[in-house]
Chain A
Amino acid sequence: MTPIFSSTSWMMRQVIYALVLGVMTAYYFFGWGVLLQIILGVVTTMVVESVFLALRGRYVISSISDGSAVLTAILLAISIPSIAPWWVIVVGVSFAIIFGKQLYGGLGNNPFNPAMLGYVFLLISYPLQMSTWQVDFLSLGQALDVVFDLSNIDVISGATKLDEVKNGLSLVGSIQQLGLHSPSQAWINAGFLLGGLYLLLRKVIFWQIPVAFLAGIVLSSILLFASNTDLYLPTQNHLMLGGTMLGAFFIATDPVSASTTPGGRIIYGFLIGVLIVIIRTFGGYPDGIAFAVLLMNMAVPLIDSFTQPKVFGR
């Protein structure tokens, strides 16, 4: 039997379910801030999307229930630091929905991945808030305090590992001295990896993008690492730090803005992987997933038109 998906909303829901494992792992390490950001993001997206759908004269309920806006909000919420002040996620999600999606004509018409557009917008506008991560587990009370800036509590915060690599390299001689081990990030990545495998199994996403994406990262990082082991991150760190697995299975696979031919998906995923390593290594920002995805979004029409599959009888 050919599997058929009952609806677009069903597919989006599957993606959201698949995120649960990774999100719970993040919660385990960083506490309530993670969930708070998601809640803020989802509420914002509901409001903004409804207003815009109403303005455009669409059926609000049937469109919003496709779940794509909620998915965008969740993806953005788990990409930003969980102790970022509340307005960061509100601004980010609003930007993503309005400029990333609705102004292009809504779902299906946006050339860019809305969540990543929101992320880049935030990164450029609020670099400080976007690069301060906490280290400890936060209780609900603490998280509310920090996110809504209720009282001045001191959260032990710092930069991410990728940030450390970027900034710390000037202080020490070799990358090996930096202590790259980061169990929390590795576990979170593992959570998203498992969620992604679930999506592959249910055939909600095709294998080409994640596999090519990871292959791109592995190949380019091996080449760099082999050229200078002191200067460049080893492959396993590339895979297990930052948002690699989230990017491979959940962000790059956003169907609307990704390449849609089988061959195209491989090129698309692979080049995103390569770009991520290049940006992480040589760029001004610690993690490059958002930039890499957006750059490749731009190349999609070109890739698609060059990778049309063979037509029967031609």
Chain B
Amino acid sequence: MADYSFNGGIVIRNPYPVDKVEIIQAPLPKKVIIPLQQRIGEQAKPCVSVGDYVLTGEVIASTEDSFGVFIHASVSGVVLSIDEQAIPHKSGLKSQCITIESDGQDKWIDNAGCSIDFLHCSAQAVIDYIQKSGIVGLGGAGFPTHAKLGKIKQCHTLIINGTECEPGVMCDDALMQFHPREIIRGVEILLHICSAKRAIIAIEDDKQAAYQALLMFNHNDKISINKITTKYTSGAEKLLIKALLGVEISSGSFAMDRGIACQNVATTKAIFDAVVDHKPLVSRIVTVTGSGVKPNNFEVRLGASFKSLISMASPSQKVHDYRMGGMMMGVDVADIQAPICKITNAIFVNNHIHKTAIQECIRCGQCSEVCPVGLLPQQLYWHAKSENIEQALNYNLLDCIECACCDYVCPSHIPLANYFSFAKTLNKQQTREQDRINIARERFEFREYRLERNKLERVKMMTDKKRVLKEKMAKEQSQKRKIAEAIKRVQQAKDKKL
């Protein structure tokens, strides 16, 4: 199939290459910290209390919110506390978490599922399992999978995203090499749910081993495996769709609107585990890489601390900088006691180096050459810096995917994507403010209108009343006159007779 590709984007070699991709099983953590806040929707409510014994896979928090998913214990053991803990988030804020001390037994609970003959289950039933198994998008976005699947109507193409989101991250590559069977089955489950005519698994062309592995296990002629050019940001949903199908999803609308559904390979594998093996999402594969460690992938229980995982990757003795997610779009983390969450796909451990000084923008235009969306980061930067949001919106601020390609090439080392993310937040605030003002104004205007209307009504009533009165008087008068005339006539007749 054709490779349509898109403009811009950057080609970066894996900065910390490995000879062979592996998945190492991390030992059971002694303690897990599981956050209750999810990406969207409200915080889940704990359904266990301190001191309770829980089994691996047991639901420890649930939610009524349609965007929320269930939260499960990732080890068996005793609930130590339910309180605020540091979580890996760019805000650096603490959040409500459940802490469980492992008993080292890893006893599993028996969950319901529909096993291998999932074709007998209705699509809605499978989606329910997915929600109850706590599955969210594992590519890094963390959007609840059941919500995404529930919205799909009339889907013709299912895209499974097997492109590694960022250079240096290898967890999906490893997953495809070592679990191709589960992934293909997972795709079949997804095909069943959204009743699409075909599924395309997209792989970057430098992942030959993963490609071969999937090819070997794929016996379904609805599923095709496509190689695309290795380029950073081809993992972004809309750009991937462009690269695969040549379809450009217009700004402001979603892939679903065009009958295309997208899922990540890791999510697909998690769906298989949940639906066929009845295993909720309690672990994930995390890449630990960077100049300060020996890069590798680890399968680890959710809630284990960053620190415990980093210590497995033979870290160097130097001072480290930690980053979660990836070198481009990741977030710097200060506290490595924070737990690994569902969206933690990679941890970068780099030997500390001084950040290069930021210089002024010289409008060299390197940034707009690589922007995959075709924006003009240099202009956006100008307006974002001066907080001129209106102008930034004119330069299509909202289309920026914050991929940081522009940062990467900027010779002045300006953290452009950060500026844009900030400007977007500002814009959201302003719109909210504007909405409030608009509502207040509408209310005020309505009140004015009502007062005005009341006044008019009163005036109308008065005039009506007056008119009625006048009419009445006029009528009475004419009656009187008629009577008088009649009397007069009678009088005249009488007079004549006399």
Contacts and interface: CB of A to CB of B under 8 A. Distances in A.
Given A256-B363, A260-B376, A8 B412 contact: yes
A172 interface: no
Contacts of B370: 2
B395 A308 contact: yes
Contact of A4 (B368, B395, B408): B408
B420 to A, nearest CB: 14
Interface stretch (A106-114, A212-220, A226-234, A244-252): A106-114
Given A68-B362, A258-B363, A261-B368, A309 B10 contact: no
Interface string B220-247: 0000000000000000001100100000
A1 B13 contact: yes
B362 A256 contact: yes
Contacts of B366: 5
A311 B359 CA distance: 27
Contacts of A311: 251, 373-375, 396, 399
Nearest to B242: A312
B399 A255 contact: no
A6 B411 CA distance: 6
B411 A11 contact: yes
A310 B253 CA distance: 17
Contacts of A4: 408-409, 411
A4 B365 CA distance: 12
Interface string A261-298: 11001000000000000000000000000000000000
Contacts of B6: 312
- The interface centre, meaning the residue of B361, B363, B379 with most chain A CB atoms within 10 A of its CB, is B363
**For this complex, into which size category does the number of interface residues on chain A fall?**
20 to 34
A49 interface: no
Contact of B409 (A5, A308, A309): A5
A199 to B, nearest CB: 12
A63 B409 CA distance: 20
B376 A308 contact: yes
Contacts of A68: 362
A312 B238 contact: yes
**For this complex, into which size category does the number of interface residues on chain B fall?**
35 or more
B374 A7 contact: no
A260 B360 contact: no
A255 B11 contact: no
Given A8-B411, A304-B379, A309-B368, A108 B248 contact: no
Interface in B359-388: 359-366, 368, 370, 372-376, 378-379
B379 to A, nearest CB: 7
- The interface centre, meaning the residue of A2, A255, A256 with most chain B CB atoms within 10 A of its CB, is A2
Contacts, number: 102
Contacts of A62: 357, 359
Given A7-B413, A255-B364, A260 B13 contact: no
Contacts of A66: 359-360
Q: Is the interface of B mostly helix, strand, loop or mixed?
A: loop
Contacts of B12: 1-2
A260 B368 contact: yes
B249 interface: yes
A256 B363 CA distance: 5
Interface string A298-311: 00000010001111
Nearest to B7: A312
B360 to A, nearest CB: 3
Nearest to B253: A313
A255 B374 contact: no
A243 B372 CA distance: 38
Contacts of B378: 260
Contacts of B374: 309-312
B250 A260 contact: no
B315 to A, nearest CB: 28
A1 B14 CA distance: 11
A264 B363 CA distance: 13
Contact of A255 (B238, B365, B379, B395): B365
A311 B400 CA distance: 10
Given A108-B361, A312-B372, A314-B251, A7 B239 contact: no
B373 A255 contact: no
Nearest to A208: B365
Given A312-B399, A313-B399, A260 B251 contact: no
Interface in A39-89: 62-63, 66, 68
A2 B10 CA distance: 6
A206 interface: yes
Given A8-B411, A312-B6, A108 B362 contact: yes
A236 B251 CA distance: 49
A139 B231 CA distance: 56
A209 to B, nearest CB: 10
Interface in B241-279: 242, 248-253
Contacts of A17: none
Interface in A1-53: 1-2, 4-8, 10-11
- The interface centre, meaning the residue of B251, B359, B361, B375 with most chain A CB atoms within 10 A of its CB, is B359
Contacts of B396: 311, 314
Nearest to B249: A313
Nearest to A68: B362
Nearest to A308: B376
B91 interface: no
A255 B362 contact: yes
Contacts of A2: 10-12, 370, 408-409
A14 to B, nearest CB: 11
B360 A107 contact: yes
B356 interface: yes
Interface string B7-48: 000111100000000000000000000000000000000000
25 contacts: A1-B11, A1-B13, A2-B10, A2-B370, A11-B362, A62-B357, A68-B362, A106-B360, A108-B362, A109-B360, A256-B363, A260-B363, A261-B376, A304-B376, A308-B376, A309-B368, A309-B376, A311-B373, A311-B396, A311-B399, A312-B251, A313-B253, A313-B373, A313-B399, A314-B399
**Would you list the 10 A-B pairs with minimal beta carbon distance, nearest first?**
A108-B360, A313-B251, A2-B10, A5-B411, A312-B373, A255-B364, A313-B250, A107-B360, A8-B411, A255-B363
Given A7-B413, A313-B252, 11 more contacts: A1-B13, A2-B11, A2-B408, A5-B411, A7-B356, A62-B359, A255-B363, A261-B368, A309-B374, A312-B239, A313-B250
